[in-house]
Structure 1
Amino acid sequence: MTSTNGDGHRPGRRRGYSAWSLLRHGLGREEWPRAWYERELRGSYDAVIIGGGVHGLATAYYLARDHGVRDVAVLDRAYIGSGGSGRNTAILRSNYLTPEGVRFYDRSVKLYEHLAADLNFNVMFSQRGHLTLAHNDASLRTMHWRTEVNKLQGVDSEVIGPDRISELVPYLDTSGEARYPILGALYHPPGGIVRHDAVVWGYARGADAHGVHIHQQTEVTGIDVERGRVTGVQTNRGRIATPVVLNATAGWAGLVSDMAGVSLPIQTSPLQAAVTEPVRPFLDTVVVSGTLHVYVSQTDRGELVFGASVDPFASYSMRGSLEFAEGIAGHVLELMPALHRIRLLRQWAGLCDMTPDYSPIMGPTPVEGFYVDVGWGTYGFKAGPVSGEAMAACLAHGKPPEIISAFGLDRFGDGRLVGEKGAAAVGH
């Protein structure tokens, strides 16, 4: 793969703004420069990335920055961040269950810690800690198991009791009279939340500055394969010739891969979330209950963000339901009864591609030049930076790096599953 950008666009980081220039733009009539530019869709690229979410944009950014491959097009059928990247609850953590998963997500958290400086763009990452509650002996045993796996991988996690939990989150009902008594929790200090839109915009800005072309409103309608290898993609704006295609979509991952003749073991289900009116900040820690299928965090603006597990049926619907709103409200009040007067503002849904072992599918496929970064279920946003870094190396060198070698498509045929259900099914 070559490293030309093809349009005379000078790669490199955009200059930041001084306090005076920010004030001048804010109070004056000067137009803000565009963070990324609309460019003419060319007839060929060295690589085409399908999906303008955090995974696709991060891959393009690291491909250009770290490997000098700048003749890249990122295609999105709507606008960047319009899919799962803009519909998630933006919780970050690395306290997974398998050694492969812990190492992978820990790398992502470390990248997030320096992402604002790297992109010269404030992504508003707040490492406020992450609590996974245990309401019975079986859950508590799983928390101890995860703690030991985390510690062996150098990840900060520990099991704490109700007294410490009450210190961290005073509004939790840790009494013995609760319907679902809290016996303990897995406490993960590096976990936290981030502004998902800012991450998408930061990667788009960085990729564009390095010469990557970002094409919105560009839907892929077909993938051309000749003699077992990719030769191009068909879009609603014409054909693009390319020897490398990455499927980095969510919700439509199976449909896109089918265009290249690659079948994926994926089931798509809706995932709903909701947000309340803003209130005085009181919840510093992310709280998750797998037993109640609920998680809650508070944004910097004061809204409480609620979520649950995926809907119990396969669907492409992204409409909210009254059943979800009633269920999530009841479960939140069982954990924190004092919230009964807070009003729900809105709810939404996104699409989740679930694999049989609750781990992603990353790397090459039987079709030469066709790669996948899919199957992220409910946990894809937290993996954006490490996935982009790893998939960029995979595209540049033609083989997956060690950190994602366990997540290949061939594991399903070989029986080498990476079972993450105990840490990924509801544990956002």
Structure 2
Amino acid sequence: MPLALLKHGLSSGRVEPPHLRWQPDLKRTYDVVIIGAGGHGLATAYYLATRHGITNIAVLDRGWLAGGNTARNTTIVRANYLTPEGVAFYKESVELFRGLSTELDINIMYSERGHFTLAHTDAAIRTARWRAEVNKHMGVDSELIDAAEVARLCPVLNTSDEVHYPILGALYHPPGAIARHDAVAWGYAKEAMARGVEVHPATEVTGILVEGGRVRGVETSRGTIHADKVVQAVAGSSSRVAKLAGLRLPIKSIPLQACVSEPVKPILDQIVVSGSLHVYISQSARGEMVMGGVTDPYGLYQTRSTLDFKEGLMAHMLELFPFMADLRVLRQWAGTADMTPDFSPVMGLTPIDNYFIDSGWGTWGFKATPVCGLRMAECIATGRQPEMLKPFLLDRFRTFDLVGEKGAASVGH
């Protein structure tokens, strides 16, 4: 045991400063109001404070700190997307994740595992090769490997030909990682609050004040707040909140379910995804098998679990990992994914002056948390769309300049 830790444990009268510094009262005016106290909203507040010196910020949430999709995701981080725009964006996010524990002074339990996207058909092999070449061109470590190499790197995976969907190969992405989602949100929150940012849970936004095409503030369950700039980062509720400002978004909100098994000793080090089977799996630091798949086939503003999801998921999981037949499901839950037609986010400027949007994340919002916060903060502070975010403008749906990421994001991870 380190001597410093021993001295700290045996010392008396030592009072640690609170990590989260709550302000009980809302001010009537802020420079920036951020709607949504999840990972993206908190990261945006942090980078506004640290990179741009803007600290008169209120982060509002109708629930509790990071209690929405941030608390419901399955913690996978990767950059092996299909389009150059998507790869560049997530490459920067991975780079930021790697230094986040140090920057936020909190252990986010970032662990690089290696990410496999399995290919069961010739078409899937072609897509994997396409993605690998785009990744390499953009400086991201990915390669197409055959079934024998898959078996060598992940020996617990069933690579037998005696199955319904034999594995022909995989897109292998060594930097693929997992992290503790709660720690990421807590870290951004505590560091933002230490710099004067206010976070107000149990504060629902009921209206957006717009005058002359410019945002003026928000109406909340605790009164009216005036603000020079307003940001919405509310995931599955994006369409409903945007409607308060008079905006119609090309987004459909759909439940996305996941579950974990009872904990077992470490046996699966890698992250395994099958786009053809619509499943993914990784093992957490606590030993749970974290599993999920594609979104539900219908839109719904509800986070309920279904037996149908679990039955379909387990049928494929047992083909890939027969040893899991003896495991019991410990917990099942759902989030609400905000899906766009081109499977890419909507970020930055809107037709309303000084009203900014962070939405359309679908099934891949957690892995974008640092880069989203950094680039959204730049957009808000300067009033200009950063180069990194130009492909993700809301206006692309009017000009039909879409960013098609379905080939790399058709499964939850």
TM range (shorter): over 0.9
Match of 1:99 among 57, 73, 84: 84
Q: 2:70 aligns with which of 74, 85, 93?
A: 85
The CA deviation string for residues 331-360 of structure 1, in whole angstroms up to 9 with x for no partner, is 100111111001110100000000000000
Checking the alignment, whether the CA contact within 8 Å between 1:132 and 1:427 is kept in structure 2 is no
1:177 offset after TM fit, Å? 1.1
- Which residue number in structure 2 is paired with residue 177 of structure 1? 162
Taking the aligned partners of 1:387 and 1:206, their CA distance within structure 2 comes to: 17
Q: What's the CA shift for 1:31?
A: 6.5
**Residue 21 (structure 2) aligns with:** 37
1:420 aligns with 2:405: yes
Where do 1:40-189 residues align within 5 Å? 40-189=25-174
Which residue matches 2:5?
19
Q: Cα offset for 1:299? A: 0.6
Residue aligning to 2:302: 317
Contact 1:158/1:186 (<8 A) preserved: yes
Partner of 2:262: 277
Is 1:298 equivalent to 2:280 in the alignment? no
Shift of 1:23: 2.5
Match of 1:201 among 170, 186, 193: 186
Q: For the Cα contact (< 8 Å) 1:85–1:381, is it kept in 2?
A: yes
1:364 maps to a residue whose letter is L
Match of 1:339 in 2: 324
Residue 419 (structure 1) shift:
0.3
Displacement of 1:33 in angstroms is 3.6
Letter in 1 for 2:173: H
Matches within 5 A, 1:375-390: 375-390=360-375
Distance 2:4 2:73 in 1: 32
Shift of 1:37: 1.4
Would you say how many aligned residue pairs link Structure 1 and Structure 2?
410
Q: TM-score w.r.t. structure 1 length? A: 0.94
DSSP 3-state at the match of 2:49: helix
TM-score by structure 2 length? 0.97
Letter in 2 for 1:36: L
Q: Post-superposition shift, 1:330?
A: 1.1
In 2, are the aligned partners of 1:130 and 1:286 still within 8 Å (CA)?
Answer: yes
Q: Which runs of 5+ in 1 are unaligned?
A: 1-16
Q: Distance in 2 between matches of 1:34 and 1:129?
A: 36
Deviations 1:124-176 (A, max 9, x none): 00011100000000000000000000000000000111111112211111111
In the superposition, relative to structure 1, how do residues 285 and 44 fare at CA in structure 2: closer, same or farther (>3 Å)?
same
Residue 344 of structure 2 contacts residue 405 of structure 2 at CA under 8 Å; is this kept in 1? yes
Contact 1:289 1:427 in 2 (8 A): no
Give a deviation string over 1:44-73, Cα, whole Å, max 9, x none: 100000000110000000000000011111
Q: Equivalents in 1 of 2:8, 2:240: separation in Å? A: 44
Question: Are 1:218 and 2:197 an aligned pair?
Answer: no
Cα offset for 1:329?
Answer: 1.1
Q: Name the CA distance, whole Å, in 2 between partners of 1:18 and 1:313.
A: 55
Conserved 8 A contact 1:52-1:81:
yes
Q: Which runs of 5+ in 2 are unaligned?
A: none
C-alpha offsets along residues 287-316 of structure 1, whole Å, 9 cap, x if unaligned? 000111100000111100000110000001
Q: 1:250 aligns with which of 189, 214, 235?
A: 235
CA distance in 2, matches of 1:36, 1:383: 23
Q: Deviations over 1:81-136 (max 9, x none)?
A: 11110000010000000000000000000000000001111100001110000000
Identity of aligned residues (%): 55
